[in-house]
A and B are shown apart, each in its own frame.
Chain A
Amino acid sequence: MRNKPRIVAALILLLSLHAAILLAKFVTPYDPAVQNRDFPFAPPTRIHFVDSRGHVHLRPFVYQWKARPDTFNEYDEARDKSYPVRFFIQGPEHKLAGLLRSHVHLFGVEDPAQIFLAGTDAYGRDQFSRILYGGQVSLAAGLLATVISLFLGLVVGCISGFYGRWIDDSAMRLVELFLVLPWLYFLLAVRSFLPLHISPTQTFFLLVTVIGTIGWARPARLVRGIVLSAKSRNYVIASRGFGASDYYMLRRHVLPHTYGILLTQAALLVPQYVVAEVTLSFLGLGLSEPAPSWGNLLANLQQYNVLVSYWWMFAPALALVIVSLGYLQMANAVQELQSGSI
C-alpha cells in the first residue's frame, strides 16, 4: 500500500482518541458537571517549564488563575506559588466502566490550583472534561446510528437483490425517495414531529434511531448491486443445484461479498452521523444541557460575546475535525485495500 505510514498514524490517532473518550472518567481531571463559579470563561491553563527565575523544570507546572480586579472574566496568573502537574493523582472518586471504584486520574494538580486544558465555560466547568464526556455521547450516537443504517441497508439490499422482481422494484423506488431528500431538512422535519421534552437517554436513542433510519438508502443500493452480481456467479448457482436454501446461500455465498462495501460505508457514515448529532444538538433539537455533547458545547458559540471573546470555546470543533479526518483516512485505506486485492 502506498500510504502505509499515514494510515497507521491515522489509525493510532483514532484509537487513542476513542480510548481517551471511552476512559473519560480516568483521563479527565474533573467531573464535567462541577461548576467553579469563581472562574467563568477562564482561558486554558498555561503549562510552564521555566519558572520566574529562569530555572528549567522537567516536571511541568501551572499557576493558579486569579481574576483581574474590576474586569469582566479576565484573568492573570498568580505567580507567587506554582503547582506541579502530577500524573496518576488522587482526585474525586469515579467508577471506571461502572465497576471499578477508583480515585486515580491520569493527571491533575493539587488543590487549590486547577488545571483547565481547554479553559472553562460560563459556569466555570472544565471544557476538557466536557469535551471528552461529550465525545462519549457524540461518538456513541455516530457509531450506533451507523450500525442501524448498515443493518437496514444490508437487509433491504439483500432481499431486494436476491429476490428481485416487484420486491426489488418497490424497494429501489423507496431508495430513490430517500436519496433525493435533502437529509438535513428531512432530519429536522422528523425530529420536529417527535416530542421535545423527554429524558436525555430517551432523546439519545431517539436521535440515533432517526439519524440511522434516514441514511439506509445508499448502503442498501450498494449492497443490492453486489448481491446482484454475486448471485449470478457459477458457484452460487451450483450451490442452488445442490439444494441449498435461500438463507444458506445468502449467508454463505453472498454476504461475504458485501463486507468490503459495508466497511467502507461504515468509515464514511460514522463521521457524517457524528456531525449530524452535533448539528441537531447545536440547533437545540438534540441533547440539551447539562448533559455534554459536542453539539451543545459548540452551541455556546451562538452567543455573540462568546464567539468573539473566548476562542477556547472552539475546542470541541477541533475534536470533531480530528474524528472526521481519522475516519476519512480509514475509508480511503479500506477502499485502497479493496481495489488492490480484487
Chain B
Amino acid sequence: MNYLERRVIHGVLLLAGVSVLCFAFGVMAPGDFFDEMKLNPQISPATVAALRSQYGIDQPLPLRYGRWVESVLRGEWGYSFAYNCPVRSLLMVRAGNTLLLTTLATLLAWLIALPLGVWTANRRGRWDDRLGLAGTTLLLSVPELVIALVLLYLAVRTHALPAGGMVSVGFGGLGKQAQLIDLASHLVIPAATLVLASLPLLVRHIRASVLEVLQAPFVQAARAHGIGGARLLFRYVLPAAANPLSSLLGLSIGGLLSGSLLVEVITGWPGMGPLLLEASLARDVHVVIGAVMASTFFMIAGSMVADVLLVVLDPRVRLGST
C-alpha cells in the first residue's frame, strides 16, 4: 500500500469514529426534535408517536446508526426534520460558503504570516522583532469573538463595508463584475477576523522554526561558502523549516474552521455555522451530525494537503516502503 492510500484509509476510519461518537452523544441525550410538539395540545400523542416512528427515532441506537450509514452511502447524509429534506442538499451550499471563507482566510493568513515570521526571525532581538512579539502577544489574547465584534462596529460606524450577510439585496440584478465586488466586500469582515485571529500563532511558529534552522550548522556552512540573501533563504532555510510548518498548516485549518463557525454567526455569513447553530437549537440531529462530519472532513483533507505539500517542499522526506 502506498502512502496516500494509507492516509485516505486512516482518514475514513477517523470519520467513522467521529460519526459513532456523535451518535453516542445523541442517544445519551434526553428528548428529541418532536418533544416540542408534545407540548402542543392540538397535536395528539398518537401523531407524535407516528412521526417518531416514521423518522425512526423510536428505534435503538445501532439500528438508527445503521440506517444513517445506509443513507450516507446513498448520498443523502440523513434526513433533516426541520427542513424536511435530505441533509446533503442543505449542507452542500453552506459547506461551499464556509469553504470559500476559510480557504481565503487560510491563504491570506499564510501569505501575511510567512514574510512576517521570516522577517522577525532574521531580525531576532532587534526593535522590529520585539514589536512583532508584543503585537502577537496582544493579538493572541483577543478572542475571535471580540475581534469580530470590533470589526463589525468599525464597519457599521464608518459605513465603509456591509455589516452582514453574503450578498446585498438585489444581487441577482447586478452584472458579473458588480456581483464579484459585492461578494468581496461582504467577505472582508469575516475573512479579516479569521486572518487576525490566526495570524499571531502562525507568525510565532514560523519565526521559531526559521530561527532554529538559521542557527543550524549547515546554514552557517552555506554562509561561509558565500551563499547569502534570497538564495540562502529560499534554497536552504525555508525547505528545512517546512517540516514543522506543514503540520501547523493542518492545525491552522482546524482552528480556522472552529473560528469560522463563530464568525459566520456574528457576521451573518451563510455557512455551516449558522446552520449548525439553528439545528442545535432545534435538535435536528442529522443536520448537526452532518455539519460536524463535514467540518471534520475538511480538517482531515486539509492536513492531508499539508502533508503532500511537505513531500513536495522538503527533500528530506522520502516516501519509502515504511
* Contacts from A to B (Cβ < 8 Å): 173, 176-177, 180-186, 188-196, 271, 275, 278-279, 282-285, 298, 301-302, 304, 307-308, 311, 314, 317, 320-321, 324-325, 328-329
Contacts and interface: CB of A to CB of B under 8 A. Distances in A.
A85 to B, nearest CB: 30
A191 B261 CA distance: 15
A317 B141 contact: no
Interface stretch (B24-32, B170-178, B232-240): B24-32
Contact of B143 (A185, A191, A194, A324): A324
Contact of B292 (A186, A196, A325, A328): A186
Contacts of A317: 145-146, 149-150
Interface string B253-282: 010011101100110000010001101110
A317 B153 CA distance: 13
A181 B19 CA distance: 11
Contacts of A182: 254, 257-258, 261, 292, 295-296, 299
A307 B259 CA distance: 21
A321 B143 CA distance: 7
Contacts of B296: 180-182, 185
Interface in B275-306: 276-277, 279-281, 283, 285, 288-289, 291-292, 295-296, 299-300, 303
B138 interface: yes
A19 B283 CA distance: 40
B288 to A, nearest CB: 5
A194 B17 contact: no
Contacts of B303: 180
A192 B280 contact: yes
A52 B67 CA distance: 77
Contacts of B288: 188-189, 192-193
Contacts of A282: 145, 262
A171 B162 CA distance: 48
B17 A177 contact: yes
Interface residues of B, number: 51
A283 B29 contact: no
Contacts of A285: 277, 280-281
A325 B146 contact: no
Given A188-B277, A189-B288, A275 B29 contact: no
B contact patch SS: helix
Nearest to A318: B146
B143 A320 contact: yes
Contacts of A180: 14, 18, 254, 296, 299-300, 303
Given A190-B25, A314-B149, A324-B140, 8 more contacts: A180-B18, A185-B292, A186-B292, A188-B280, A189-B25, A193-B29, A275-B143, A311-B153
B30 A195 contact: yes
A283 B277 contact: yes
A176 B141 contact: no
B276 A188 contact: yes
Contacts of A173: 17
A119 to B, nearest CB: 15
Nearest to B303: A180
A308 B155 CA distance: 10
A190 B156 CA distance: 34
Contacts of B30: 195
A196 B152 CA distance: 29
Nearest to A174: B17
Contact of A193 (B26, B138, B150): B26
